[in-house]
Structure 1
Amino acid sequence: MALRNALLAALIDRESSGYDLAKRFSASVANFWTATPQQLYRELDRMESAGLLSARLVKQEKRPDKRLFSVTELGRAALKTFTAQDPKPTTVRDELLIQVEALAHADVPSVRAAIRTRMRLSAQRVEAYQRQLAEILGTRTHEEFLATGNRIGPYLTLQRGISFERENISWGELALDILARRFP
């Protein structure tokens, strides 16, 4: 059900192909929801069958035809119902934290390497999210955008993604410092 709501939110402002949605999911929506392209395509088909989305076929030369999906009135109503509910509490499922939890019996150099990798990936995501944020802002300042912009939802989710990845980096620095002192 949550993937369905994430897709409705991603499509609410503009129609999109499954391919474009998969790209968007890996680029921006991934900071709060992940899905494989296969999961996306299956869910898009189910949503179309349920009347939440409509699709139109676009003929293309030198490429396969593509379907562009848009949210129907029934889909808008479903999204409104979803946004009126209290969301489920967030839980963390993170293999790296299991490795850290098991430090007493772990391969400490491997855990250090995993922390460094997480920090590097987080830094890359921060850069990507900041580029996307710059695209949303255009030539406007944050204040101008907040007063006049129409993509407040993506702005806020990108801000959350940036904060989350910065916290991953900060935690990684702390963890590496402690490991260096405890396991020289």
Structure 2
Amino acid sequence: MSLRHAILVLLQDQEASGYDLAREFANSIGLVWNATHQQIYLELGKLNEQHMVSFRHVPQEGKPDKKLYSITEDGRQELIRWLKKPAGPARIRDAFMVKVAGGQLADSGALLGELEQLSKQRRERLATFEALAQRLDEQGREENLYSYLTVRRGILDQRAWLQWAEEVRQALEHASVGLPTS
């Protein structure tokens, strides 16, 4: 998957500004794909050059004009083409898991501290996803089926990570009991 496809997915039903897209990445599609404001704006420029999106200027008082992007027929055809291709396996890039793998050289107290910070972030993300799932349910799950299914995956991912984190915490606390103090 590329950023271009994530943007096209977000634009398939309604036009949006770059800011709107960045907010959607932070709140919903960020479940499965992360992007910075800069990456989004760069990709929008490329998509516009390739005629996969178009934009219109919306005047704003006291601010520069806003650009509202929408998917073009070329963009819709690219999205359909991409949707027909197999996705392939997901890649995991988790620096903390690498730290745990190399943990024999690490300070277990530092790992536990980082684990707690990451767990707090995951609990917050879980609460956000659960609230989003409830809103989608209230709006009508059938009408929001694909968004709902994506959010459910996010919920399950967060719960699984938090369960793993608890196992790590217990193992590190148990291992640190037998270590000599210096």
1:112, distance to aligned residue in structure 2 (A): 0.7
1:47, distance to aligned residue in structure 2 (A): 0.3
**Deviations along 1:57-90, whole A, 9 cap, x unmatched?**
1111122210111111111110010011011311
SS at match of 2:20: helix
SS at match of 2:76: helix
Aligned runs of 1:42-53 on 2, under 5 Å? Answer: 42-53=42-53
Amino acid at match of 2:60: Q
**Deviations along 1:24-72, whole A, 9 cap, x unmatched?**
1011111110111001001001101101011011111122210111111
Amino acid at match of 1:107: D
Is 1:170 aligned to residue 170 of structure 2?
no
Which segments of 5 or more consecutive residues in structure 1 lack a partner in the other structure? Answer: none
- The count of residues paired between Structure 1 and Structure 2 equals 177
Cross-structure match for 1:25? 25
SS at match of 1:43: helix
1:177, distance to aligned residue in structure 2 (A): 0.9
Which segments of 5 or more consecutive residues in structure 2 lack a partner in the other structure? Answer: 178-182
Aligned runs of 1:50-61 on 2, under 5 Å? Answer: 50-61=50-61
Amino acid at match of 2:147: P
More relative contact order in 1 or in 2 (CA 8 Å, sep 6+)? 1
**Deviations along 1:121-175, whole A, 9 cap, x unmatched?**
11000111122222323354xxxx23xx1x3221111111111111111100111
SS at match of 1:92: coil
Cross-structure match for 1:6? 6
Aligned runs of 1:1-184 on 2, under 5 Å? Answer: 2-138=2-138, 140=140, 145-146=141-142, 149=143, 151-184=144-177
Amino acid at match of 1:71: I
Q: TM-score, normalised by structure 2?
A: 0.92
d(CA) in 2 for partners of 1:41, 1:169: 33
Q: Is the 8 A contact 1:118 1:168 kept in 2?
A: no
SS at match of 1:169: helix
SS at match of 2:91: coil
- After TM superposition, what 4+ stretches of structure 1 lie above 3 angstroms from structure 2? none
Amino acid at match of 2:148: Y
Q: TM-score, normalised by structure 1?
A: 0.91
Amino acid at match of 2:176: F
d(CA) in 1 for partners of 2:62, 2:132: 30
d(CA) in 1 for partners of 2:46, 2:139: 39
1:18, distance to aligned residue in structure 2 (A): 0.3
SS at match of 2:63: coil
